[in-house]
């Protein structure tokens, strides 16, 4: 035990086993909802929900172990909300790309992710994208995720006259979403640890009591087979043979890239790890993160990345990688509760999507709204994602507009050459979509 404490630098970080274990469990409770939300989201693309459940748990556990043991950070990993929605609704459903090919796209993006990390190019790419647009991407995904939640929960529906409108509250299942949203809002505002997960539990109980959800025959069972998704990505790499699909790969790369970078820096700041505005052991953290994404694609899930809910464990004192080692163990134990997938309906997970959307949209406060050359492309990214029902389309609108606006403001020289390159990439992307 002393050797473990020494390896994770308990003395230097002023922590102990009790604190780290509590922090690890707290982090798990805060993010365990992803085990049930991810299968529902990816299931919409035709993927086997049981296999996605197992892939989610294993990918999350491995991601936590890598970050904890290699980088010694209390930052957990799991398939990210937002990018999984892009996978299911934009790529598979919107572009009519088979989920097997989309998964191959994640695998290819992961390989690129690893390569640019090894050659230390991630910092270069991060610096090329204006910070305001990074915040806009995160915020836009937040609005998109919230819109999905409201839609899946029946609160917002399609309307022939106005395109979208308020759903019918005469539908009993809609009230299940309303109940979950009210309860989760209350818990979040009261800062209850694991508020999203607790809200899902209370909503499920409410659904069972009212008959809106049918109870499963049993709760504990063997983990669902991983066979429907395991290594599928590799066998379909050859399907990525069009410019449209390469743009999809690029989007997987960019969105995961910015989301993860922002999360890592934000959590490191919260924990007090930042030194002279730099993150210690950042290379190990980025490599752990890249390896997690690659592993997740092989298992059969959308991109894996640092999870912002790790802030819950950090808030209760988690300071070393042992925190997320505990979290990873909890994910492995959670594998045996797959029957709960039948009671965790879209109305149960919808409030979680809305609240996560709110958290992500908070990034809008960091955007320089007083400068139109920044505000216009940022706004188009944010509003474009939910209105086009596509994360990549929203990014395209902003990245195309940005160089134009900067040139108009006589600031064209401030635009990184990579942004000009992306301008042409997304012009081609839109041309392909409308061909």
What pLDDT is attached to residue 177? 93
Lowest mean pLDDT among 32-41, 68-77, 148-157, 277-286: 277-286
Q: For 110-156, what is each residue's pLDDT tens digit? A: 999 888 888 877 767 666 778 888 888 878 878 888 888 898 889 99
In a domain, 84, yes or no: yes
In a domain, 135, yes or no: yes
Split into its structural domains, the chain has a count of: 1
What pLDDT is attached to residue 140? 85
Q: How many CB atoms lie within 10 A of CB 370?
A: 7
Lowest mean pLDDT among 38-47, 290-299, 424-433: 424-433
With residue 31 as reference, give the H or E element that holds it: helix 17-31
- How large is the average pLDDT for residues 215-222? 80
In a domain, 76, yes or no: yes
In a domain, 232, yes or no: yes
| 287 three-state secondary structure | helix
Given a cut of 60, is residue 435 above it in pLDDT?
A: no
Distance of CA 255 to the CA centre of its chain: 9
In a domain, 150, yes or no: yes
In a domain, 286, yes or no: yes
- How large is the average pLDDT for residues 195-207? 86
pTM: 0.73
Local confidence band at 266 (pLDDT 50, 70, 90 cut-offs): low
How far is Cα 229 from Cα 341, in angstroms, rounded to an integer? 18
| 156 three-state secondary structure | strand
Given a cut of 90, is residue 56 above it in pLDDT?
A: yes
What pLDDT is attached to residue 123? 67
Lowest mean pLDDT among 255-259, 327-331, 357-361: 255-259
Lowest mean pLDDT among 143-147, 367-371, 376-380: 143-147
In a domain, 374, yes or no: no
Q: For 73-103, what is each residue's pLDDT tens digit? A: 999 999 987 788 888 988 899 888 999 999 9
Q: For 117-128, what is each residue's pLDDT tens digit? A: 888 777 676 667
Higher-scoring residue by pLDDT: 62, 425: 62
How far is Cα 143 from Cα 156, in angstroms, rounded to an integer? 13
Question: Residues 293, 303: contact at Cβ < 8 Å?
Answer: yes
How far is Cα 24 from Cα 33, in angstroms, rounded to an integer? 15
Given a cut of 90, is residue 23 above it in pLDDT?
A: no
Domain span including residue 302: 8-155+217-336
- How large is the average pLDDT for residues 331-341? 82
What pLDDT is attached to residue 248? 82
Residue 266: closest CA among 232, 205, 315: 315
| 80 three-state secondary structure | coil
- How large is the average pLDDT for residues 198-205? 88
| 165 three-state secondary structure | strand
In a domain, 345, yes or no: no
| 42 three-state secondary structure | helix
- Whole-number percent of the chain with pLDDT over 70: 95
What pLDDT is attached to residue 1? 75
């Amino acid at each position: 035990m002393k050797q473990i404490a020494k390896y994770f630098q308990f003395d230097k970080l002023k922590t102990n086993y009790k604190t780290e274990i509590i922090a690890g469990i707290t982090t798990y409770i805060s993010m365990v909802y992803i085990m049930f939300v991810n299968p529902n989201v990816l299931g919409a693309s035709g993927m086997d929900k049981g296999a996605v459940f197992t892939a989610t748990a294993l990918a999350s556990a491995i991601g936590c172990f890598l970050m904890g043991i290699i980088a010694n950070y209390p930052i957990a990993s799991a398939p990210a909300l937002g990018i999984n929605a892009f996978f299911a609704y934009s790529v598979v459903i919107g572009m009519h790309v088979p989920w097997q090919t989309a998964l191959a796209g994640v695998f290819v993006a992961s390989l690129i992710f690893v390569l640019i990390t090894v050659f230390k190019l991630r910092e270069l790419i991060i610096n090329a994208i204006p910070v305001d647009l990074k915040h806009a991407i995160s915020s836009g995904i937040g609005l998109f995720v919230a819109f999905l939640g409201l839609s899946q929960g029946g609160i917002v529906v399609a309307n022939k006259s106005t395109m979208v409108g308020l759903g019918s509250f005469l539908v009993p299942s809609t009230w299940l979403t309303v109940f979950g949203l009210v309860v989760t809002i209350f818990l979040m505002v009261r800062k209850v640890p694991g508020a999203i997960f607790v809200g899902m539990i209370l909503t499920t109980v409410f659904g069972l009591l009212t008959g809106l959800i049918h109870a499963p025959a049993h709760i504990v069972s063997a983990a669902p087979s991983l066979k429907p998704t395991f290594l599928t990505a590799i066998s379909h790499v050859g399907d990525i043979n069009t410019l449209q699909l390469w743009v999809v790969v690029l989007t997987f790369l960019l969105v995961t890239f910015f989301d993860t970078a922002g999360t890592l820096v934000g959590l490191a700041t919260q924990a007090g790890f930042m030194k002279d505005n730099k993150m210690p052991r950042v290379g190990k953290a980025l490599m752990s993160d890249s390896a997690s994404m690659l592993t997740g694609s092989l298992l059969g899930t959308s991109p894996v990345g640092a999870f912002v809910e790790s802030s819950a464990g950090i808030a209760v004192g988690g300071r070393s990688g042992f925190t997320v080692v505990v979290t990873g163990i909890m994910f492995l134990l959670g594998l045996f509760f797959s029957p709960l997938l039948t009671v965790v309906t879209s109305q149960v997970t919808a409030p979680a999507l809305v609240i996560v959307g709110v958290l992500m949209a908070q990034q809008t406060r960091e955007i320089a709204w007083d400068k139109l050359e920044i505000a216009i492309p940022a706004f188009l990214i944010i509003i474009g994602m939910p209105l086009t029902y596509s994360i990549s389309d929203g990014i395209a609108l902003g990245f195309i507009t940005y160089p134009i606006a900067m040139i108009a403001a006589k600031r064209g020289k401030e635009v990184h050459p990579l942004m000009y390159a992306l301008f042409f990439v997304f012009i081609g992307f839109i041309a392909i979509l409308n061909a």
